[in-house]
Structure 1
Amino acid sequence: MAGAAGDRGAADRRSSRRRADDFSGARRTGLLRLVWRAVARRRGDVRGARRALHSLPIEDCPFRRDLDTTMAEARSRVAGGLVDLDNLEDSYAGWTGEQLLAELERTRPASEDLVVCHGDLTLDNVLVDPRTGGLTGVIDVGRLGVADRWLDLAILQRELTEEPFAAFLAGYELTGPDQDKLAFYILLDEFF
């Protein structure tokens, strides 16, 4: 079935959110800080992996996740009733698929900084050796493809508190967050 892979992705995201919701706010924040400290011990490894992925030649990547591609997929998912409206970010709770799509169209960035992106770069999808803090792998690459680098950064930003995300961006050698692109790519993720 054509939507089955996307449906599994949405189910995985819902499952991940449910796991996160099992923790109280303070306990979850403490857990995320603990995980971030483990990653931060060898931050260079994680940043290096991200830089390596983002520096791959886009012409060698056969998968497209650029805005033309993902916007068409978002429209198709709304038309097919495949957007999980019961599991939206709080800021979009109660919105219809058509309202989400209209907001997506309204806030679409004018340009893209295309790189090879993971597409669902969360802490759960980065494997770190607990003893050394070294990166051992990256999983769940079903949305890997050529996309704007802010797609990966938005997904990661949603998981981290402000301080660790700012530290990550500083190590990533970006001058600061592009708030409009972060908000857009978080919204775009609601469709998948």
Structure 2
Amino acid sequence: MDSTLRRKYPHHEWTPVNEGDSGAFVYHLTGHLPELYAKIAPRAPGNSAFDLAGEADRLEWLIGHGIPAPRIVERGEDSTCTWFVTEALPGVPASEEWPEHQRFAVVEAIAGLARTLHGLPVDDCPFDRGLTVTVTEARHNVRAGLVDLDDLQEEHEGWSGDRLLAELDRTRPETEDLVVCHGDLCPNNILLDPDTCEITGVIDVGRLGRADRHADIALTARELDIDEDPWFGPAYAEHFLERYGAQRVEKDKMTFYQLLDEFF
């Protein structure tokens, strides 16, 4: 399919994009307008990371609800793979090295985006990412060898898949505060205007759906808290949670949803 799709866009230069961990092949198409992105994945039933038809549906749903997201130019599938092509969005990732005077504004924009997403009509969202779905997927991913045990967070280093699952079961929350979640609301999936720090779009929405709000804020705070990044750190993670609404944050759920993310 790669070569067939390339023939549809012969005037673009195709550059592989290596950011992200989904396992799909992503290309940046430049040199001819409009600037585009193509995402291609093998057909792999049971592996949500390769469900590009589902991700395309989510992009269209977000746009229909006023959230800036890449517009689908075309989508399709054959017996071996699925794909979609989108228009490029303006802006730069929130994970970029921002000047110090802009960093708190970036964090506040991310918090505002989280509040906006979580304020969408949850009953209108057709995508279920609640724990019944995601814990089942976590078990499948361990059995199928899809969990990268060599790339776990520091607190889980050296853990086996069975140990991760046991801890997931032990700490599973009894209740879910369901909202519309992005599902992977990390700074690299959020685009901002480099001058105004206003949100210009969200990308990589394959895990979007109805889920507890901590499925988003736990990952955002974790990524902002990583002090290897010299332009963010614990103070920015704390500021994000304060601007989002500290009264809504439950520490145990933060820990649980960071653990759940290890399986995807």
TM-score by length of 1: 0.79
5+ residue gaps, structure 1, are: 9-30
| Counterpart for residue 67 of structure 2 | none
Partner-residue secondary structure (3-state), 1:172: helix
Q: Shift in Å at residue 166 of structure 1?
A: 1.5
Contact 2:184 2:207 in 1 (8 A): yes
Larger radius of gyration: 2
Q: Does 1:93 align with 2:93?
A: no
* Higher-helix-fraction structure: 1
Q: Deviations over 1:74-113 (max 9, x none)?
A: 1111122221111111111111111100000000011111
Q: Deviations over 1:108-149 (max 9, x none)?
A: 011111100000011101101111111111111010000000
Contact 1:121 1:155 in 2 (8 A): yes
Partner-residue secondary structure (3-state), 2:115: helix
Distance 1:35 1:86, change over 3 A: farther
* Higher-strand-fraction structure: 2
Q: Shift in Å at residue 47 of structure 1?
A: 3.0
Letter in 2 for 1:2: P
After superposition, where does 1:94-173 map in structure 2 within 5 Å? Answer: 94-161=158-225, 162-173=234-245
5+ residue gaps, structure 2, are: 1-43, 52-94, 226-233
Q: Deviations over 1:50-85 (max 9, x none)?
A: 212101111111111111111111111112222111
| Counterpart for residue 260 of structure 2 | 188
In structure 2, how many angstroms separate the alpha carbons of the residues matched to 1:42 and 1:124? 12
Q: Shift in Å at residue 40 of structure 1?
A: 2.7
Contact 1:7 1:82 in 2 (8 A): no
Contact 2:110 2:240 in 1 (8 A): no
* Percent of paired sites with the same residue: 49
In structure 2, how many angstroms separate the alpha carbons of the residues matched to 1:133 and 1:172? 17
In structure 2, how many angstroms separate the alpha carbons of the residues matched to 1:89 and 1:35? 27
Q: Shift in Å at residue 49 of structure 1?
A: 2.3
| Counterpart for residue 45 of structure 2 | 2
In structure 2, how many angstroms separate the alpha carbons of the residues matched to 1:96 and 1:35? 40
Q: Deviations over 1:18-67 (max 9, x none)?
A: xxxxxxxxxxxxx8773785353265543332212101111111111111
Relative contact order, higher structure (CA 8 A, sep 6+): 1
In structure 1, how many angstroms separate the alpha carbons of the residues matched to 2:147 and 2:196? 40
RMSD: 2.4
Which stretches of structure 1, 4 residues or more, deviate above 6 A after TM superposition? none
Contact 2:184 2:219 in 1 (8 A): yes
